[in-house]
Amino acid sequence: MATLYIDNTNKTGDLTGADWTFTNGSTAVASAGNGTCQTDGLVAGDYVRANGGTQWYKVASVTNEDNFVITPAFQQATIAGIATINWQDVSVKNGTSIANAWVHPALYTTDTVRTAGDIGKMRANQTHVLAGLDLVADEDGTVAARIELKGCDSVDDPWSDASDAHVTFDFSDTSFQCSWIGDEYWQFKNIDFIQSADPNGALLFDNSYLIKVINCVFRDNAAFGIYLRSTPGFIIDSCSFYSNLSAGVFGYIGGGARIYNSVFNGGVATQNSGIYATYGSVFYLEDCDFGSTTAHNVASIRSTTSGASPIHARRCLFSDAVILSGIWPGTYLKSEDHNQVEGVHYSEYYNGTIKKETTEVRGGGALTSIKVTPNANCVANFPIMAMEWEEQAVPASEQTRGVAIKQGLADPTGFPTNVQLWLEAEYYNHATNDTVATAVSTATISVYNTWTWFPVTYTPAQVQKVRYRVWLGVKKSAEAYYIDNQLYDANPI
């Protein structure tokens, strides 16, 4: 393993001559006849930039004293008649010290061979213009020794800059990106990824395992900040996403991540959502913030009608008007300590929402209730499971258990029937094997805003656990239903 250094001011020297021309869209660099690039020692693999320019280019080949070829094609406006070209001779500057630091991150990620545990340290507060270029990797780290690419800061400060300003990778609104395909065990830290027009995001990971992205910023990208496809073990920590037109993070076909302490905002060029979860991508979120400064166009989290994408959140703050949109059966949000309030839990499904309530409770009952708000997708053959309890070691004799439920508002269409709102008990109905039966309640609500007892009676054939579930399979104009958050063995009302 090795520590390598990157500093885009660290040229070897200048190519002399006169009247050099860099032409927009061309790979050819030419002098009017006074060039000395071969005499100076320019060879393929070195890096050059127009004196005072913003982007370093790799030399693909040298034709003669007056002509050489660069890659990618020159991205900026044509520059003609310049006397000096900045040059890094990579046979001299080998990246092993700050004096020999490379000028371009591709020298670390692509041009040279990486080994597990290598660290690429980039000088703080520098912008690497990567217009027209995909930054790619070739090697893998290991679970014990990731390959790291990081911007330095005031703590890790080999240049003694005393700066915490991030390194910036600027794609200058070209359709290029950082592309890690099949590359595993990498870590990125203290980098801003901006202005990528690539439809697959500024930072693409495809079949890339156990990657970490720490304290990075993703902004002003035409599609996504990060694109994830088949990325088990992916971690995003302490990052910021805004003004990425589609989403901050996009998950597709097994793409997903654990995201910690990160902030998602709409920004000025408003991104549609913080996270876009599709085709079975799975996200675990902790201590994240959605839309607190600027709202998203669509929702905090967006899904599609293709594939189930579960999202689990803990201690996250959702300030957008819509938390989850485009829900498909199997896609859901489960939010623990919702909106960073301890003990408040919220779940959103294809057919409704469930929330732990502390204000609308039954006098003499539990201190909390379960608020169930169905939507138009809540129907008899696709009911929402409002609650599930499990009781252990229930005796093998006739049992009665029940819950108290009320309908919050009056409804001109009446009340749910006993096949639209019910309590069920799933119990073991054989003395020795594990077959089960289900008993259901027959009670119905007849008065709104009044608690009604929903009992169910059953007889287990063995001492075993029993599962209880409340189901709601209808959407009426009434806003919500409330379940006293306690199981009773006699009518408590």
* Mean of pLDDT values over 206-210: 92
Q: What residue ranges in 51-201 does DSSP mark as E strands? A: 57-64, 67-71, 79-82, 85-88, 119-122, 127-129, 135-136, 147-151, 167-174, 178-181, 186-189, 191-196
Q: What are the backbone dihedrals phi and psi of residue 107, each rounded to the nearest 5 degrees, phi first?
A: -65, -30
* Mean of pLDDT values over 464-489: 92
DSSP state of 123: P
Give the whole-angstrom CA distance, residue 423 versus residue 389. 11
The edge-to-edge listing of strands for the beta sheet with 384-394 is 384-394, 464-472, 421-428, 436-440
Give the whole-angstrom CA distance, residue 285 versus residue 263. 11
Question: So what's the pLDDT on residue 125?
Answer: 98
Is the pLDDT score of 62 beyond 90?
yes
Question: So what's the pLDDT on residue 72?
Answer: 97
At 3-47, the pLDDT tens digits run: 999 999 999 999 877 789 999 999 999 998 888 889 899 999 999
pLDDT band at residue 275 under the 50/70/90 scheme? very high
Residues of the chain with CATH 2.40.30.180: 9-88
At 115-150, the pLDDT tens digits run: 999 999 999 999 999 999 999 998 999 999 999 999
CA atoms within 13 A on the CB side of 443: 22
Which of 32-41, 85-94, 310-319, 357-366 bottoms out in mean pLDDT, i.e. has the lowest? 32-41
Give the whole-angstrom CA distance, residue 289 versus residue 442. 44
* Mean of pLDDT values over 176-182: 96
* Mean of pLDDT values over 358-370: 93
- Tell me which fold the domain 381-484 belongs to: Immunoglobulin-like (2.60.40)
Average pLDDT over all residues of the chain: 94
Q: Count CB atoms within 10 A of the CB of residue 19.
A: 15
Is the pLDDT score of 68 beyond 70?
yes
At 396-428, the pLDDT tens digits run: 999 999 999 999 887 778 899 999 999 999 999
Angle at alpha carbon of residue 273, lines to 272 and 276, rounded to 5°: 115
* Mean of pLDDT values over 83-91: 92
* Mean of pLDDT values over 367-392: 94
Among 220, 5, 212, CA closest to 105: 5
Domain covering 106-357: architecture? 3 Solenoid (2.160)
Question: So what's the pLDDT on residue 16?
Answer: 77
- Whether pTM > 0.95 for this model: the answer is no
At 447-462, the pLDDT tens digits run: 989 999 999 999 999 9
pLDDT band at residue 82 under the 50/70/90 scheme? confident
Instruction: Report strand pairing: 85-88 vs 13-15.
Output: antiparallel
Give the whole-angstrom CA distance, residue 279 versus residue 257. 14
pLDDT band at residue 305 under the 50/70/90 scheme? low
Superfamily covering domain 9-88: Ubiquitin-activating enzyme E1, FCCH domain (2.40.30.180)
Which string of DSSP letters, residue by residue, matches 222-254? SSEEEEEES-TT-EEES-EEES-SSEEEEEESS
Q: What SS3 state is found at 40?
A: helix
Question: So what's the pLDDT on residue 36?
Answer: 86
Tell me how far the alpha carbon of residue 158 is from its chain's centroid: 32
At 234-254, the pLDDT tens digits run: 999 999 999 999 999 999 998
Is the pLDDT score of 169 beyond 90?
yes
Question: So what's the pLDDT on residue 416?
Answer: 93
Token code pair at residue 207: 């079949």
Residues of the chain with CATH 2.60.40: 381-484
Residues of the chain with CATH 2.160.20.10: 106-357
